[in-house]
Structure 1
Amino acid sequence: MVLNRSLSETKLPTFGRRHLQCLLLFCGLSAIYGMRVNLSVAIVAMMDKSAANPNFPEYKWSEQTKSKVLSSFFCGYICTQIPAGGWARRFGGKVMLMFTVTSSSILAILTPLAASIGNWQLLCALRFLQGFGQGSTIPAMATILAKWAPVEERSSLATYLFSGAQFGTVIMLGSSGALASSSMGWPSIFYLPGGLGLLWALIWLCFGASSPSDCKVISDAERSYIETSLSKQVKSEEHEMPTKVPWCKIFTSPPFLALLVTHCGYTWGFWTLLTQIPSYMKSVLGKDIKSNALLSALPYLSMVILGFICCPFVEALEKSKRVSRTVSRKVFNTIGQWIPVTTFIWLGYVNADQSDLAVVLLTVTVSITAITHFGWQVNHIDLSPHFAGTLVGLTNSAANVMSIIAPLVVGYIVTDPTNSVQWRIIFFIAGGFNFFANLLFIIFGTAKVQPWHDEELKVQELKPLNENLVVVTPSGEEKEEPKEGNVLKETA
């Protein structure tokens, strides 16, 4: 087996089909996040005509109404998280992604029309539907990644893929200021990502694949390399994999529960900043819409760059086997979640005249979280490669409750957007969530495949190989007698 693998690795292309799938998923996630975060900046222009093209309508919404609009997406988003993993296994990740990107793109293009016809109420309804459609994105991608990524490359490929979220954020936030001031006005902030999403869906239809077995043009060497690597971690063949989700075992699993809480803590801080940085920049730091957009994008650009820089080092570390995968996950996750605790607290004491320091702290707070790509963000696949999509759906569903609550908490606490003391409370809450979440991950987290991953398969292996014989006695009665050789299979 080692000899075969060595021979196959020598024939592996520098840029294989697994890398192409990762690139396509990166671009798709970029488009999805562009459509997800565009409202964070667009709403600043929609509520302040002087900050954008004055030829387009202005909406006089309160901070509470703005918070409702920003949260409405996540109300729909959590609805499809849990079933999405099962859908991805049943219909294939390719089909699920086609649906989510296409539907979200169409709704993004219709957003300006919805706001003009039905004000914030219809806008909330449309964003709810957009979130509902996007709910299957991450579970579907996790399901695809679990089948395409060799164990030794899992962290790096996952980081490249999920960096698409930050890349899409950077492009959207960085360009939105210029788009809002252009001749097309703030509606173009919705038209651009919607159009790019439809273009991506067409490309994905032609080149995407749910797994190596579904890809007709992958080389035998690359397919063998991927399947050999995955078979070392999970010894069952794909067609023998269990179909029933062990819900009770999952919800009583300490590693999974720690992962769920970690995801929630991370999401609270991430989405608090993502949805509120433009407002904070404008209200507290006094930045106009153009500089606001560029500075809001800076932290996420740094996050993408840092993630890419770390990938080769982390991949080399994991291949060297110098530390266990569990230790690696915990160390990187601690860096990614506990350093922001310090910067969150520091941000709380930054004055309005220290705008440069605030930008630096915001950049560090967001960019360092890229390290969690090597921590909790790939841990779903560690715990159960087969049920990775389901696990992502479960934790993402719980985490996005935080995405709903966080903007509402900001709207409740920050009654005066120019009051830095009120923003201090917001930063302290985010820091507290990060600290507690990572603490649980350190105590209970693991990168080992859990026993419930293939529990159903083990039970099936204990069933008799043959059915009993039905024998007719001389008196005409029927009775069952065991066949010869009707023994139980030994479990692996």
Structure 2
Amino acid sequence: MAKNRRNSEPGTGLGIRHLQCFFLFAGLSVAYALRVNLSVAIVAMTDKNATNPEFEEYEWDEKTKSFILSSFFWGYVVTQLPAGQIAHHFGAKLPMLFGVTICSFLTILTPWCAALGGWKMVCASRFVQGLCQGAMYPCTHALLSKWAPPDERGKLNTICYSGCQFGTVIMLAASGVIASSWLGWPGIYYISGGFGLVWALFWFFFGASTPSQYKAISPEEREFIENSIDEKKDDSEQLHRTPWREFFTSVPFIALIFVHSCHVWGFWTLLTEIPSYMSKILGMNIKSNALLSALPYTVMWLLSYVFCGISDVLSKKKLISLTFSRRMFNTIGLWLPAAALIGMGYATKETTNLAIGLLVVAVGVNSAVYLGYLVNHIDLSPNFAGTLMGISNGFANIMSLLGPLAVGVIVTNERDPAQWRIVFFISAGAYFAGNLLWCIFGKTKVQPWNTPQSTNRREENGYTMVDPEKPV
């Protein structure tokens, strides 16, 4: 009895798995700050009426700016799949470390790139930054699959990925203030890059790919984690064989790729274009623009914890099944924002408050997808979660690349509300279609190809301890 009580203690309090979760939260915060800094900085870089004329302004039209904003994703989509495979075979710690470190250095050098090579060199720098950050999502999923017990998976997943919004909020809110200060718009890059290097230093000393690689973890917590996820050593070639054919013939995984792509189209179109929309359509200056641009992501960050709490209550009371829970939260996260985007299409300067309110809904409620499709990779295959995320995020971020480019093509007159309306309608349609198809064809059961060497082992695998069709 004493032994059982001792083994249960690691599951009831804070442990090393929560420390790893905190570092993943911080790492994704830094990564998103490095991604979105250009969204506000480019407004200051091209503002002829800048409050700080000491720093050079560039005459880049909307199409050029959209080209620059999308260049990050040209590299980002390339490294998704390789990063997932590297994380699966060699561990996720080092790809994240090198990615953030190199990206941070290049961010600090961005003002010199603009001065020496204009928009082309900025695009080249952002391309390489995208290559570096391609490891973040696949590695985060790979780490969660090793560190998060099934009962804590939704909660820890939400906490980690809420760092995306936290970094976005901090960067958008601070960028306008920094651009108006003595540092000017170059300070946006210096500060965000500096924080990235600080995180990399801490991650080098305290990060670990698996519980067995963290020397300071207690034997009790390690045993608790490994037993709960059935983490057993098996060096057979078949265990490490990646079932590529099964991936791409799996209807639930194809549906997951589709919803991921649809969500990313709308999310990144808004994230990269909100500062320009607020500046040109709602007539806000760079400082208030940055602060209000951060508001929707502040709400998104806070709501992620609200949805997580609701999910915990429903789970403990066993009121709904895992499948229903995933679909319910995903529908909240995509269909409510779709309705808000349609309303935003009719906003004008005279209805600024309404436009901001709809924008808050369109972005803020998105956080429900952390309990929907975004954790579904681990549901389908804990063993290949990083690779699955690499595949789906690779396809999805082609949309990240195309979204800003599409805005550049559609919005030829950035002060024309009718052209922005088309942008919002397209994003709303993507949200609606993506969720509909995933709710019909998506699954939450561990797939047979999770353990390709033996489909029978799946029945003994610790991941199947929760039946998706029974109440959670």
AA paired with 1:103? I
1:3 CA drift (Å):
9.1
* Distance (whole Å) between structure 1 residues aligned to residue 160 and residue 457 of structure 2: 36
Is 1:347 matched up with 2:348? no
The residue that corresponds to 2:156 in the other structure is: 157
AA paired with 1:9? S
* Distance (whole Å) between structure 1 residues aligned to residue 252 and residue 453 of structure 2: 20
Q: Which stretch of structure 1 is more off in the superposition, 40-49 or 305-314?
A: 305-314
* Distance (whole Å) between structure 2 residues aligned to residue 315 and residue 223 of structure 1: 24
* Distance (whole Å) between structure 2 residues aligned to residue 220 and residue 319 of structure 1: 28
* Distance (whole Å) between structure 2 residues aligned to residue 297 and residue 270 of structure 1: 14
The residue that corresponds to 1:394 in the other structure is: 391
The residue that corresponds to 2:407 in the other structure is: 410
* Distance (whole Å) between structure 2 residues aligned to residue 393 and residue 10 of structure 1: 34
Is 1:313 matched up with 2:273? no
Residue 290 of structure 1: which of 287, 291, 305 is its match? 287
The residue that corresponds to 2:276 in the other structure is: 279
- The answer as to whether partners of 2:239 and 2:453 remain within 8 angstroms in 1 is yes
1:220 CA drift (Å):
2.1
The residue that corresponds to 1:93 in the other structure is: 92
Deviation per CA, 1:194-235, whole angstroms, max 9, x where unpaired? Answer: 10110111111111111111111112222222122212xx8x
% same residue: 51
1:325 CA drift (Å):
1.4
- The answer as to whether partners of 2:241 and 2:452 remain within 8 angstroms in 1 is no
* Distance (whole Å) between structure 2 residues aligned to residue 289 and residue 220 of structure 1: 53
AA paired with 1:198? L
1:10 CA drift (Å):
3.1
For the residue of structure 2 that corresponds to 1:386, the secondary structure is helix
AA paired with 2:429? G
* Distance (whole Å) between structure 1 residues aligned to residue 240 and residue 253 of structure 2: 19
For the residue of structure 1 that corresponds to 2:382, the secondary structure is coil
* Distance (whole Å) between structure 2 residues aligned to residue 294 and residue 460 of structure 1: 52
Is 1:368 matched up with 2:368? no
The residue that corresponds to 1:260 in the other structure is: 257
* Distance (whole Å) between structure 2 residues aligned to residue 12 and residue 337 of structure 1: 33
Residue 443 of structure 1: which of 440, 444, 453 is its match? 440
* Distance (whole Å) between structure 2 residues aligned to residue 65 and residue 5 of structure 1: 63
* Distance (whole Å) between structure 2 residues aligned to residue 90 and residue 418 of structure 1: 50
Is 1:381 matched up with 2:378? yes
For the residue of structure 2 that corresponds to 1:44, the secondary structure is helix
Aligned 1:188-207 pairs, distance under 5 A: 188-207=187-206
* Distance (whole Å) between structure 1 residues aligned to residue 363 and residue 194 of structure 2: 28
Q: What is the Cα-based RMSD across aligned positions, in Å?
A: 1.8
AA paired with 1:21? Q
- The answer as to whether partners of 2:10 and 2:224 remain within 8 angstroms in 1 is no
- The answer as to whether partners of 1:103 and 1:133 remain within 8 angstroms in 2 is yes
- The count of aligned residue pairs is 457
Aligned 1:168-207 pairs, distance under 5 A: 168-207=167-206
The residue that corresponds to 1:478 in the other structure is: none
* Distance (whole Å) between structure 1 residues aligned to residue 8 and residue 343 of structure 2: 49
- The answer as to whether partners of 2:451 and 2:457 remain within 8 angstroms in 1 is no
Q: Which has the larger radius of gyration?
A: 1
* Distance (whole Å) between structure 2 residues aligned to residue 246 and residue 151 of structure 1: 23
1:460 CA drift (Å):
11
Deviation per CA, 1:438-457, whole angstroms, max 9, x where unpaired? Answer: 00111011111001111234
Is 1:246 matched up with 2:220? no
For the residue of structure 2 that corresponds to 1:367, the secondary structure is helix
AA paired with 1:397? G
* Distance (whole Å) between structure 2 residues aligned to residue 431 and residue 51 of structure 1: 34
Could you tell me which runs of 5 or more consecutive residues in structure 1 were left unpaired when the two chains were aligned.
462-492
* Distance (whole Å) between structure 2 residues aligned to residue 217 and residue 332 of structure 1: 37
* Distance (whole Å) between structure 2 residues aligned to residue 254 and residue 39 of structure 1: 37
* Distance (whole Å) between structure 2 residues aligned to residue 366 and residue 298 of structure 1: 9
Give the 3 Å change call, closer, same or farther, for CA 269–237 of structure 1 in structure 2. Answer: same
1:316 CA drift (Å):
3.6
Aligned 1:458-469 pairs, distance under 5 A: none
- The answer as to whether partners of 2:449 and 2:455 remain within 8 angstroms in 1 is no
* Distance (whole Å) between structure 2 residues aligned to residue 357 and residue 100 of structure 1: 40
* Distance (whole Å) between structure 2 residues aligned to residue 373 and residue 431 of structure 1: 19
Residue 416 of structure 2: which of 411, 419, 442 is its match? 419
Deviation per CA, 1:21-55, whole angstroms, max 9, x where unpaired? Answer: 00011001111110100000000000004234110
The residue that corresponds to 2:141 in the other structure is: 142
The residue that corresponds to 1:489 in the other structure is: none
Give the 3 Å change call, closer, same or farther, for CA 193–5 of structure 1 in structure 2. Answer: farther
The residue that corresponds to 1:227 in the other structure is: 226
- The answer as to whether partners of 1:5 and 1:225 remain within 8 angstroms in 2 is no
Deviation per CA, 1:164-193, whole angstroms, max 9, x where unpaired? Answer: 011000000000001101111100111111
1:9 CA drift (Å):
2.0
- The answer as to whether partners of 1:71 and 1:405 remain within 8 angstroms in 2 is yes
The residue that corresponds to 2:463 in the other structure is: none
* Distance (whole Å) between structure 2 residues aligned to residue 323 and residue 7 of structure 1: 31
Is 1:301 matched up with 2:298? yes
The residue that corresponds to 1:37 in the other structure is: 36
Deviation per CA, 1:433-476, whole angstroms, max 9, x where unpaired? Answer: 00000001110111110011112345999xxxxxxxxxxxxxxx
1:5 CA drift (Å):
5.5
* Distance (whole Å) between structure 2 residues aligned to residue 3 and residue 395 of structure 1: 45
- The answer as to whether partners of 2:89 and 2:240 remain within 8 angstroms in 1 is no
AA paired with 2:185? W
Could you tell me which runs of 5 or more consecutive residues in structure 2 were left unpaired when the two chains were aligned.
459-472
For the residue of structure 1 that corresponds to 2:41, the secondary structure is helix
Give the 3 Å change call, closer, same or farther, for CA 238–276 of structure 1 in structure 2. Answer: farther
The residue that corresponds to 2:61 in the other structure is: 62
